[in-house]
Amino acid sequence: MFFGVLAVIFTNPEFLLPAAALLAWALASELVFRQRTQRISETLQVSHTVSQPTVRPEQPIDATTAVHLSESVNTPVTVHSNYPAHAIHISGTSEQDLPAGSTDLTLTTEVYFPFAGKYTIGPATVSVSDAYGLFETTITSTDTATVTVDPDEPTDLHVGQAGEQFAVTFGEHGSGNTGPGMVPAGMRAYTPGDPASRINWKATARLDDVYVREFEIETVRPLAILLDTRAPPATTPENDPVEYRRHIGTALVADAASHGDPVGLYTIDNHDVEASQRLSAAPEQYLKLRDRLYTPSQREDTDETDPTTGVRTTPLDIGVAADRLRTDESAFGAQLTPFLRGTASQTRQIEGDPLVQTARTYLKRHGQDVRVAIITGDQHRAELYDTAKLAGQLSPEVLVFITPAVLFEADDITAIDDLYSRYAAFERFRTRLDRLDNVTAFEVAPGAKLQAVITDGVTHAQQ
């Protein structure tokens, strides 16, 4: 460029020769670089392995990224393993340069995941540049490794009331009636017609009379889970209230599966709700809900616009159309119904307060025997109060799990008084919820942070 400008200024074509030479060199260098990177891309082999594919929260694993080239290259190559954001680094490296003249590189990193979930390591990326730093490109591999973190109560998870830890359960499933079942309820004297398989032979031999075992009939207790994912961005997974809520939801689904209870999940964000079409005890329902809870992600905009008409179709439109077609017995309806049948869940836009609107829309569809779990934060207290009150009117048992914002903020030792007063205000709000009919409210928070706030606040007040 410089020599080209001189040629114009001095009207001397001789200055064009160096410019042409430089341009030719740059073009040749680019061509060589392209050919080299193409060769690397074609022969690059990347693999990810983990020491344990299934672990518990906070259990360390070794993750290895192995890179192989069919021939050595004399150009800078950097390998990036690309771990998910929720992976907590312990030791090792996830980024390293391939030594000059080498064809192999192995990166081993020790990491752990603080919460239950399904996490993907990779795909790795390889950055290639030329020796002069003029050209650079990135090659993305395809291989990945998946780590499944099964739910386990984190060591610092606190679920309780007023700082006191509680063991939370929905209670036993017994109906109080006896008959065929799995829960032992005692013994009684044999009556004609009782099956021989129910005779308690040890008791019969000991008591000189025939006795049979009685079992309590277990009841099915449907569960609707309302999971609120609205929260300010967190700096780390340990400070992310949504991760704590997700863990509670995962534990509730696992408990429902262990009892064979029908369950549905309603995930709420700022704009819409992803709702289970029905409460179901089918094995695939538990797996789908587990995957939804295990794999938190930003949902892409699924709205579609017809390029010919400009009409925007939303999942809500599709759901409404499907509902209408269920009662359409015409030939036209029979043709369209298979195309509009939903999957296990639908995403519907919500106007107004998302949490209370979700409860009003979906809980009223269920019977009076459906239990409700509301998992949310305390940023929208008026909305949460209205939701809990409505749920208590529609359900015989409502558990509310709340992540107090004050216990998930960055530590500030200069604001102990403020932290304690804000926690005290939250506790008063939680108590209000707890007084509602059929409602029990719990706090969910990092245990160490909660105890520090309570202890320091009380100590500071006594000084």
CATH of the domain at 110: 2.60.40.10
Considering the domain architecture, whether residues 245 and 209 belong to the same structural domain is answered as no
Torsional class of 67: left (φ above 0), alpha (ψ -120 to 50), beta (otherwise): beta
Per-residue confidence (pLDDT) for residue 80, from 0 to 100: 94
Considering the domain architecture, whether residues 184 and 134 belong to the same structural domain is answered as no
Residue 124: name the closest of 93, 65, 63, 81 by CA: 81
418-449 pLDDT per residue, tens: 888 899 999 999 999 999 999 999 999 988 88
For residue 458, being part of any structural domain is answered with yes
Residue 410 pLDDT more than 50?
A: yes
Helix (H) or strand (E) holding 448: helix 447-462
Considering the domain architecture, whether residues 119 and 188 belong to the same structural domain is answered as no
Q: What is the CB neighbour count within 10 angstroms for residue 326?
A: 11
Considering the domain architecture, whether residues 182 and 143 belong to the same structural domain is answered as no
For residue 246, being part of any structural domain is answered with yes
In which domain, by residue range, is 120 found?
44-149
For residue 31, being part of any structural domain is answered with no
CB burial readout 245-274, b (16+ within 10 A) else e: bbbbbbbbbbebbebebbbbbbbbbeebbb
For residue 318, being part of any structural domain is answered with no
Mean pLDDT of the chain: 78
Considering the domain architecture, whether residues 284 and 383 belong to the same structural domain is answered as yes
Q: Per-residue pLDDT averaged across 366-384, rounded?
A: 91
pTM over 0.75: no
Considering the domain architecture, whether residues 166 and 209 belong to the same structural domain is answered as no
Residue 369 binned pLDDT confidence (cut-offs 50, 70, 90): confident
For residue 95, being part of any structural domain is answered with yes
* The total number of structural domains that make up the chain: 3
Considering the domain architecture, whether residues 210 and 262 belong to the same structural domain is answered as no
Considering the domain architecture, whether residues 234 and 347 belong to the same structural domain is answered as yes
145-192 pLDDT per residue, tens: 999 888 655 557 788 887 787 665 554 554 444 444 444 456 778 888
Considering the domain architecture, whether residues 400 and 446 belong to the same structural domain is answered as yes
For residue 48, being part of any structural domain is answered with yes
For residue 16, being part of any structural domain is answered with no
CATH of the domain at 230: 3.40.50
For residue 198, being part of any structural domain is answered with yes
Residue 358: name the closest of 327, 322, 387 by CA: 387
Per-residue confidence (pLDDT) for residue 50, from 0 to 100: 96
Contacts of 449 (CB under 8 A, 6+ apart): 407, 408, 411
